[in-house]
């Protein structure tokens, strides 16, 4: 009788969406390519849905081995389920691998129910372990494995893998039963065209992986793309760290687009692009944007501080190059977004604010994403000496994963967020978050974008001066809508520093999902825009000497914001605001709007059915790709 092998790679629910368990699939596909394993082991369909652990336990019968793929979103769940399996089946071997395990053997010392840990890539190690256990051989000769020796946890010799001929879990049918048994689910998939990363950014664990960077063969990649389309996979992402680095990446893009036209699937594509954006990355984004498959082009910095860049081993493109790229993308109508990480060693409140100023000055008015620095055990930041050197203080809070369906969870997952360093106190971490929320919500989501642009170009007011003063206004006027939201976020951030709460906000008016702090601010202020603008008007008015011009601009700002459920009547202005802001957002240096009698109408207003529909489709899905004020949709009569 064949011995049963189970794999567990569960994820949180996103409504009716589900991820195919790619890591589990790669282990199974490779193992089944080996005759001795295929003949002696039965691989049960991988577990991919997060269900009650007792219910999962009922589905596991007489296991020989259970392998767990660990990430921040399932690590605690895996520990609970693995412990229960071991109690019920003491002879079952429990194997842990993935991105969220300790880089040493200490997990085996603290968790006696775990028998083995795979450190790094899993295909060859997992299969070698199966064979050794089946043949009752000592697995000590298998590389990259943590095991016990005479009561002590030890690690076998380390080895870099170089193979590129691993079989595909898609093309070998590993996932076919999952699709057949779950016809109501909308599936997302993960692929790899290349594995590894040539960079060693200390906040990331991709470059720290113990493997050699290499590319998978064209035959596999084209076959997988065809499989995704034929099986109507709604969307997919690449696990590649630097898509666009290689010339061949453009032909993969062409194939994705061909398949989308032929099958209608995949509908969307998401990837991390090459760190130093180039003409190839631009060409790829242009093609995806024209095909309606783009999730926005990433132009990331993580930090603009030279000190931080040195500390995290990161090299950014120059600001001049960034400006050139922005103009190029804007001219082509391709949405862009820039990512920052808050809490990196060496960052100060002043350098963080200055960094955002630099991005806004360069013309990044579409979207800035600020992510709180998540401490990852397999990253360079996981090194105790690195933590000591930079005074890194982290807190353990409920998982920082917004947009998941809100459910009563049996097991809580946790994030470890950096809230303090040698250059950033916890109070400064709170201030940096509040400032980031203010800019993201009221600039990039459009509420005060027109005012910030006009005051910057016409009056020479720094963006930071405007938004810092706005934040102070909210803090001093807590009875206003903006003040109420700011105070709620401040209290939540304070609770985070004491490990009393998480960073994800709940508001059932906008659906059964959790929201990041800046989107929570947006949807709350959008819910009552009349109140928001009525209360903010005195703050804005004091920045203008010309009352008549202020009223014109104030009316235009309200009118051009993409508010839901509101019929936009014709707008008559004494100034050509549309042309002025169109030029400003395209990166053109403008001064004053032309005084010209204008009449505007909106040709294509947003169409949403409910507040939940608006929050999900416009604030969440459209954040990277949809401008938050009407611009191209405005016609002049």
* pLDDT tens-digit series, residues 37-83: 999 999 999 999 999 999 999 999 999 999 999 999 999 999 999 99
Q: What are the DSSP calls for 17-84, one per residue?
A: EEE--HHHHHHHHHHTTSHHHHHHEEEPPPEEE---HHHHHHT--SEEEEEEEE-TTTHHHHHHHHHH
Percentage of the chain surpassing pLDDT 90?
73
In this prediction, residues 432-443 reach a mean pLDDT of 97
In angstroms, how far is CA 127 from the centroid of its own chain?
32
Contact in structure between 574 and 550 (CB atoms under 8 Å): no
pTM for the whole structure: 0.92
- pLDDT at residue 210, rounded to an integer: 55
Residue 224, CA atoms < 13 Å, CB-side half-sphere: 24
Band (208; pLDDT cuts 50, 70, 90): low
Band (241; pLDDT cuts 50, 70, 90): confident
Tell me which residue of 37, 5, 41, 40 sits closest to 24, measured CA to CA. Answer: 5
List the domains of the chain with CATH numbers: 3-155 (3.40.50.280), 185-295 (3.30.750.210)
Q: Model confidence over 574-599: pLDDT tens digits?
A: 999 999 999 999 888 888 899 999 99
- pLDDT at residue 209, rounded to an integer: 55
In this prediction, residues 129-142 reach a mean pLDDT of 95
- pLDDT at residue 295, rounded to an integer: 79
In this prediction, residues 116-133 reach a mean pLDDT of 96
- pLDDT at residue 207, rounded to an integer: 54
CA distance 499 to 632: 45
- pLDDT at residue 131, rounded to an integer: 97
Q: Model confidence over 379-391: pLDDT tens digits?
A: 889 899 999 999 9
User: What contacts 272, CB < 8 A, 6 or more positions away?
Assistant: 238, 240, 241, 242, 243, 298
Least confident of 63-77, 216-230, 367-381: 367-381
Contact in structure between 22 and 236 (CB atoms under 8 Å): no
Judged against a pLDDT cut of 90, whether residue 321 lies above it is answered with no
Most confident by average pLDDT, 293-307, 495-509, 596-610: 495-509
In this prediction, residues 484-511 reach a mean pLDDT of 96
3-state secondary structure 222-252: HHHHHHHHHCCCCEEEECCCCECCCCCHHHH
Tell me which residue of 167, 148, 147, 150 sits closest to 37, measured CA to CA. Answer: 167
In this prediction, residues 408-430 reach a mean pLDDT of 95
Q: Model confidence over 177-190: pLDDT tens digits?
A: 999 999 999 999 99
The SS3 call for residue 498 is coil
Band (518; pLDDT cuts 50, 70, 90): very high
């Amino acid at each position: 009788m064949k011995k049963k092998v189970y794999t567990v790679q569960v994820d949180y629910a996103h409504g009716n969406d589900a991820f195919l368990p790619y890591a589990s699939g790669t282990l199974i596909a490779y193992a089944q390519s080996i005759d001795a394993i295929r003949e002696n082991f039965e691989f049960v369909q991988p577990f991919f849905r997060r269900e009650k652990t007792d219910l999962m336990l009922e589905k596991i019968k007489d296991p020989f081995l259970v392998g767990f793929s660990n990430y921040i979103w399932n690590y605690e769940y895996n520990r609970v389920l693995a412990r229960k399996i071991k109690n019920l089946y003491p002879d079952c071997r429990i194997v842990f691998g993935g991105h969220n395990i300790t880089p040493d053997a200490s997990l085996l010392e603290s968790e006696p129910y775990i028998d083995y840990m795979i450190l790094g890539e899993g295909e060859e190690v997992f299969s070698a372990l199966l064979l050794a256990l089946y043949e009752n051989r000592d697995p000590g000769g298998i590389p990259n494995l943590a095991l016990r020796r005479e009561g002590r946890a030890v690690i076998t010799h380390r080895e870099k893998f170089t193979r590129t001929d691993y079989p595909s879990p898609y093309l070998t049918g590993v996932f076919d039963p999952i699709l057949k048994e779950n016809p109501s689910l909308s599936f997302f998939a993960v692929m790899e065209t290349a594995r590894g990363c040539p960079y060693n950014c200390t906040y990331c664990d991709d470059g720290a992986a113990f493997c050699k960077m290499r590319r998978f063969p064209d035959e596999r990649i084209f076959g997988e793309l065809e499989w995704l389309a034929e099986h109507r996979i709604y969307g997919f992402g690449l696990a590649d760290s630097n898509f666009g680095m290689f010339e061949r990446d453009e032909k993969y893009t062409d194939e994705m687009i061909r398949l989308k036209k032929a099958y209608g699937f995949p509908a969307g594509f998401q990837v991390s692009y090459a760190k130093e954006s180039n003409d190839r990355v631009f060409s790829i984004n242009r093609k995806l944007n024209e095909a309606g498959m783009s999730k926005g082009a990433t132009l990331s910095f993580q930090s603009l501080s030279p000190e931080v860049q040195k500390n995290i081993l990161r090299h950014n493109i120059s600001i001049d190059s960034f400006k050139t790229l922005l103009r190029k993308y804007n001219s082509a109508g391709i949405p862009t977004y820039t990512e920052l990480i808050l809490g990196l060693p060496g960052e100060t409140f002043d350098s963080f604010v200055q960094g955002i100023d630099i991005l806004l000055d360069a013309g990044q008015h579409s979207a800035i994403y600020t992510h709180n620095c998540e401490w990852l055990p397999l990253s360079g930041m996981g090194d105790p000496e690195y933590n000591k050197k930079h005074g890194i203080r982290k807190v353990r809070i409920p998982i920082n994963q917004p947009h998941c369906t809100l459910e009563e969870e049996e097991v809580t997952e946790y994030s470890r967020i950096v809230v303090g360093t040698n250059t950033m106190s916890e109070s400064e971490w709170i201030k940096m978050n509040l400032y980031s929320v203010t800019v993201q919500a009221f600039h990039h989501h459009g509420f005060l974008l027109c005012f910030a642009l006009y005051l910057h170009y016409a009056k020479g007011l720094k963006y930071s001066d405007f938004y810092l003063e706005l934040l102070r206004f909210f803090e001093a006027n807590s009875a206003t809508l903006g003040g109420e939201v700011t105070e709620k976020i401040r209290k939540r951030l304070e609770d985070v520093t004491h490990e009393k709460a998480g960073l994800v906000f709940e508001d059932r008016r906008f659906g059964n999902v959790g929201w990041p702090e800046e989107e929570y601010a947006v949807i709350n202020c959008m819910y009552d825009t009349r109140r928001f603008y009525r209360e903010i008007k005195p703050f804005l008015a004091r920045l203008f000497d010309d009352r008549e011009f202020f009223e014109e601009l104030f009316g235009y700002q309200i009118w051009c914001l993409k508010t839901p459920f509101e019929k936009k009547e014709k707008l008559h202005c004494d100034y050509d605001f549309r042309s002025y802001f169109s030029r400003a957002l395209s990166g053109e240096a403008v001064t004053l709007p032309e005084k010209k009698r204008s009449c505007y109408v909106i040709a294509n207003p947003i169409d949403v059915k409910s507040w939940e529909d608006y929050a999900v489709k416009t604030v969440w899905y459209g954040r990277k790709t949809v401008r938050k004020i009407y611009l191209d949709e405005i016609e002049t009569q």
